Amino acid sequence: MFLFISAIFQQNIYRTSQVFAFSVGEEREVGEQLLTMVRKGFSLIDEPDVIQYINQLGRETLAVAGSQYFDYHFFVINNKELNAFAAPSGLIFFHSGLIESLDSEEELVGVMAHEIGHVVSRHLADRITKTAKVNAVTMLGVLLGIALGAGPLSEAIIAGSAAAGQSAALSFSRLDEEEADRLAFKWMQEQNLDPAAMVNMLHEIHTMNRYRMGYVPPYLLTHPGPDVRMSYIQDLIIFSENKTYVKVDQFPFLRFKSRVITLSKDPMELVFYYQNAIATMEPDTQATAMAHYVLSQAYLAAAEFDKAEKSLRKTMAFFPDKPILKADLGIIYLKSGRFNEAISLLQETRKAERSNEYATFYLAMAFEKTGKLQEASDLYEELLAMMPDYTKLYYQLANLKAKQNKQDEGFYYYGYYYWYEGDLPNSKSHFTRAIALLPQDSQKKADAENMLQKITRFEKEQ
């Protein structure tokens, strides 16, 4: 179901004229508006390590895809369906259910490259152009149905909004899908990644589609079936020259997948499942080590800190050279009130991996907990360059500035927090207050004034 968002920006693309072309500039404008609405429309898995991993993979594929019209953003949605989709201007979404079903980083890159292929080929713009006469209510119904996933409720919403008759026009064509797959195949080869992983991924989707066909609305399955796509990708493999591919370290992917699982499921259900699973596993294997990792994260979510540490140490024993696991242990200490021990471990992670956004964010929180407000502020502001649209970062900074009696900067950061949360009235209010208090010649004041103009423009367009 590689479908794309259209309802939330329909007011910007609706035209009564017969001829309409969706330009790069218009797509970029729509994408900017969508970026402010993403967290309002979807339940995102919004942790620094999840965000950093998925965006780093995206940047690696974009590096071989050539120059781009857009700045890409990658998101993980808390949704059990096997789905991924692209929205205008390089916003790409992966459902947690899809990630859970994948077995390797190469499979994830295959999905990602496919979605990037749609954006690069401007399939989105073509679809929008062809559906310019579809009204906003119809398109909103399709969006809500996709967001809910397969099932009677989503079918009722789509059918009730009269979207059923238009959904075929809102999905990618067979040729679009094939072109995106061919580009994905090419880019995987250019990264020295085995494109056979694309076949593995499609086989999994094919199996799940067959298993769940009774619950999936047929009009949401208008793209070529996975079996068709598997066939022509296998042909590409057969007729491409023999190549030796790199052996990928799967630990970053397996940890990412484990984090997605624990951030999208009930922790006590995970504890019950993984305790039983571990009892049947061979000791000292990668699978067992990662099962202990999931168990540690589930215990952490349930505030059982001693058990979380015990399980995590079993993972660390199997992977002794992975700095991010020290950050995981540091976060267990942070959440259990052992702040100085947390700071020590998070600093060790930062020393080994300076660009680790996960360790940096939680180190700043640990500094804040121990009253080291300036150290915390410096780290949060360092992260802004790496995570400019991470809402939690703006929230932490806004609260920190309030503690430092810097009301002007507090209002400024709250303005950005509400902007990325899609709350334009609150964003506008806080930027207005910031402008009144910030020094006349400050860069923050100029930024706030620009944001206020942008919000006013967006409000008029809506």
Among 314, 401, 392, 402, residue whose Cα is nearest residue 360: 392
Range in 37-41, 158-162, 302-306, 419-423 with the lowest mean pLDDT: 158-162
d(CA 125, CA 323): 42
Number of other residues whose CB lies within 10 A of the CB of residue 143: 22
pLDDT band at 228 (very low <50, low <70, confident <90, very high): confident
Domains identified in the chain and CATH numbers: 7-239 (no CATH), 390-462 (1.25.40)
Average pLDDT over residues 51-72: 93
pLDDT at 28: 76
pLDDT at 399: 98
pLDDT at 89: 81
Full 3-state SS string of 192-215: CCCCHHHHHHHHHHHHHHHHHHHH
d(CA 18, CA 31): 24
Tokens 């002794």 belong to residue: 320
d(CA 104, CA 333): 30
Q: What percent of the chain is modeled with pLDDT above 90?
A: 59
Neighbouring residues of 455: CB distance < 8 A, sequence distance ≥ 6: 419, 424, 427, 428, 431
Range in 41-50, 51-60, 91-100, 224-233 with the lowest mean pLDDT: 224-233
- The gap from C-alpha 150 to its chain's centroid, in whole angstroms, comes to 20
The mean pLDDT value of the chain amounts to 84
CB 244 within 8 A of CB 196: no
Q: What percent of the chain is modeled with pLDDT above 70?
A: 80
d(CA 421, CA 426): 10
Neighbouring residues of 387: CB distance < 8 A, sequence distance ≥ 6: 48, 51, 52, 357, 393
d(CA 344, CA 221): 51
Range in 240-244, 252-256, 315-319, 341-345 with the lowest mean pLDDT: 240-244
d(CA 341, CA 354): 19
Among 289, 265, 267, 266, residue whose Cα is nearest residue 277: 289
pLDDT at 366: 99
pLDDT in tens, 323-379: 999 999 999 999 999 999 999 999 999 999 999 999 999 999 999 999 999 999 999
pLDDT at 348: 98
Average pLDDT over residues 3-23: 44
Residue 216: is its pLDDT beyond 60? no
Residue 16: is its pLDDT beyond 80? no
Range in 67-76, 162-171, 290-299, 394-403 with the lowest mean pLDDT: 162-171
Q: Where are the alpha helices (H) located in 320-372, listed in sequence order? A: 323-335, 339-352, 357-369
CB 205 within 8 A of CB 226: yes
Among 90, 105, 361, residue whose Cα is nearest residue 256: 105
Q: Which residue has the higher pLDDT, 165 or 319?
A: 319
pLDDT band at 128 (very low <50, low <70, confident <90, very high): low
Number of other residues whose CB lies within 10 A of the CB of residue 55: 18
Beta-strand (E) ranges in 20-149? 73-77, 84-87, 91-95
Average pLDDT over residues 67-87: 87
HSE (side-chain half, CA atoms, 13 Å) at 259: 22
pLDDT band at 22 (very low <50, low <70, confident <90, very high): low
**How far apart, in Å, are the Cα atoms of 26 and each of 57, 128, 129, 136, 382?**
27, 11, 12, 17, 32
Average pLDDT over residues 414-425: 94
pLDDT band at 157 (very low <50, low <70, confident <90, very high): very low
CB 303 within 8 A of CB 332: no
d(CA 88, CA 30): 7
pLDDT band at 21 (very low <50, low <70, confident <90, very high): low
User: For the packed helices 48-65 and 357-369, what is the interaxial angle rounded to 10 degrees?
Assistant: 150
d(CA 126, CA 176): 10
- Per DSSP bridges, beta strands 91-95 and 73-77 are parallel
- The gap from C-alpha 135 to its chain's centroid, in whole angstroms, comes to 28
| End-to-end Cα distance, the chain | 28
pLDDT at 132: 54
pLDDT at 137: 35
Q: Helix or strand or coil: residue 407?
A: helix
pTM of the model: 0.87
Q: Which residue has the higher pLDDT, 383 or 167?
A: 383
pLDDT in tens, 368-403: 999 999 999 999 999 999 999 899 999 999 999 999
d(CA 285, CA 293): 13
CB 343 within 8 A of CB 366: yes
